[in-house]
């Protein structure tokens, strides 16, 4: 029956796409948006027996209805859905921040920081040296490049190697209802690494001298502004919950609207703002449980929208170019990710042998996904390097696409194997 429902929805999407909406373009967007959500939902239900994460199934459905297969998505409609995409990003990041328990982080701070820093150092050095000595074979477009340019490319690819998307981690944790020390340690590492990368990113770009110092300096300023805006939002939400406490999800939607609208004026990072807000609400207010409950009530909507649109926007033809080099680089990143986990976990074995063993066996799966900051890096290098920027961007996006498919599935498998999460069909 679900197959028939899905086929009927696809037929409706095809039918409405071919109607003339010149007098009512808003209706086209509304219908596409509604059918997209319903279609992704039934598609995930239809393939639930595969035990693939729902976020992966939503992404696959987005690819199917996207511009390379069924071609149901209209570019104008997708561009108009940008606000929805940003809104879902804010809600997911609020969830991420609200999951960070400061008491637990303090308790595990040595292990969290040691794994984080070792991963950053190991991966960066490994990728940097790989590109420096073998880059002309892995990346043919730098075969005739000067040594200084190859060094810059090696530094940038090292940054890409470190970058990790916290959004898919949060989505899988929410889907499996995962809870426990293994999950919380990984969440702490992922968030701290993302914040550190936001700090390192502009600094390293300034050091390598890409021909423009304005963009990296502005990013550094964005980080400071983002922290301040995040704290301000936390105070506003806390006051609202104390004094009014009605329709909190609706209030968060309205607040997100203003945050998105003012982004261009005050130049802050939406992801970092929302993480700081969620972290403040969890650790510095007495309404954290109520806040977390309301945020999670929006989880189904935000995940299905964010990851389906992500699938629609994936540029599949890019995979034809350099997929083998991307796999080699990703394999190197995984190996040194594991080394960054192994040594701190081994040292912590006496204090908590069970969690240490889980980290050694399964933690690597949490650091595969490359979305988020990697895409920002890809966009910047295209602007900074006029000769090889397009090819370098293509390689980075190829790595993102590959990890979008394998990352969430492997992490879900790991969470279930540790016993901290479960599969719910």
Give the pLDDT score at 40: 94
Q: What pLDDT score does 211 carry?
A: 45
- Do 65 and 73 touch, CB atoms closer than 8 A? yes
Q: What is the 3-state secondary structure (H, E, C) of 283-347?
A: HCCCCHHHHHHHHHCCHHHHHHHHHHHHHHHCCHHHHHCCHHHHHHHHHHHHHHHHHHHHHHHHH
Continuous segment of H or E residues that includes residue 146: none
Could you tell me if 42 and 9 are in contact, meaning their C-beta atoms sit under 8 angstroms apart?
A: yes
d(CA 233, CA 166): 21
Query: CA 307, 312, 314, 318: dihedral to nearest 10 degrees?
Result: 160
Question: Which residue ranges make up each domain of the chain?
Answer: 2-80, 91-418
Token look-up 């964005």 returns 222
Q: Residue 142, exposed/middle/buried by CB under 10 A (0-12, 13-18, 19+)?
A: buried
Q: Where are the alpha helices (DSSP H) in 81-108?
A: 82-98, 102-107
Residues with Cβ within 8 Å of residue 53, at least 6 apart in sequence: 171, 172, 175, 408, 409, 411, 412
- Residue 211's region, left for phi above 0, alpha for psi from -120 to 50, else beta, is left
Q: Which of 414, 406, 395 is nearest to 160 (CA)?
A: 395
**CATH architecture of the domain with range 91-418:** Up-down Bundle (1.20)
Report pTM. 0.81
Question: Hey, how many other C-beta atoms are within 10 angstroms of the C-beta on 1?
Answer: 7
State the Cα–Cα distance between residues 146 and 151, nearest whole angstrom.
9
In which residue ranges of the chain is pLDDT below 50? Answer: 211-214
CA atoms within 13 A on the CB side of 329: 35
DSSP one-letter code for 254 = H
Q: 270-283 vs 214-243: helix axis angle to the nearest 10?
A: 40
Q: Is residue 66 within 8 Å of residue 314, measured between CB atoms?
A: yes
How many CB atoms are located within 10 Å of the residue 351 CB? Answer: 11
Token pair of 42, please?
Answer: 């039934």
Two structure tokens written together for 43? 């598609």
């Amino acid at each position: 029956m679900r197959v028939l429902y899905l086929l009927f929805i696809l037929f409706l999407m095809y039918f409405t796409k071919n109607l003339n909406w010149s007098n009512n373009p808003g209706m086209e967007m509304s219908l596409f948006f509604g059918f997209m959500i319903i279609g992704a939902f039934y598609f995930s239900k239809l393939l639930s027996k595969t035990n693939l994460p729902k976020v992966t199934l939503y992404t696959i459905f987005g690819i199917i209805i996207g511009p390379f297969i069924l071609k149901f998505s209209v570019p104008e409609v997708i561009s108009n859905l940008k606000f929805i995409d940003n809104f879902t990003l804010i809600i997911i990041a609020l969830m991420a921040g609200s999951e960070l328990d400061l008491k637990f982080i303090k308790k595990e701070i040595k292990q969290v920081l040691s794994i984080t820093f070792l991963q950053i150092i190991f991966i960066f050095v490994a990728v940097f040296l790989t590109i420096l000595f073998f880059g002309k074979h892995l990346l043919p477009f730098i075969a005739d490049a000067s040594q200084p340019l190859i060094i810059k490319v090696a530094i940038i690819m090292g940054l890409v190697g470190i970058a990790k998307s916290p959004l898919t981690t949060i989505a899988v944790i929410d889907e499996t209802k995962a809870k426990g020390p293994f999950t919380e340690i990984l969440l702490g590492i992922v968030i701290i690494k993302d914040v550190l990368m936001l700090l390192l990113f502009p600094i390293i770009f300034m050091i390598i001298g890409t021909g423009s110092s304005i963009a990296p300096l502005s990013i550094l300023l964005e980080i400071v502004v983002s922290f301040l805006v995040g704290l301000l939002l936390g105070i506003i939400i806390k006051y609202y919950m104390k004094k009014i406490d009605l329709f909190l999800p609706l209030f968060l939607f309205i607040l997100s609207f203003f945050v998105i609208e003012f982004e261009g004026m005050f130049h802050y990072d939406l992801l970092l703002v929302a993480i700081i807000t969620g972290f403040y609400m969890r650790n510095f207010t007495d309404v954290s449980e109520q806040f977390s409950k309301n945020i999670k009530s929006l989880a189904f909507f935000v995940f299905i929208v964010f990851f389906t649109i992500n699938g629609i926007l994936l540029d599949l033809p890019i995979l034809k170019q350099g997929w083998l080099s991307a796999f080699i680089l990703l394999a190197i990143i995984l190996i040194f990710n594991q080394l960054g986990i192994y040594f701190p976990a081994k040292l912590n074995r006496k204090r908590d042998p069970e969690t240490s063993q889980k980290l050694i066996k399964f933690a690597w799966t949490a650091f595969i996904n490359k979305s988020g900051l990697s895409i920002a890096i890809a966009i910047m290098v295209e602007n900074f390097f006029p000769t090889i920027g397009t090819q370098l961007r293509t390689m980075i996006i190829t790595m993102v696409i590959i990890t979008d498919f394998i990352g969430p599935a492997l992490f879900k498998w790991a969470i279930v194997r540790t016993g901290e999460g479960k599969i719910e069909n």
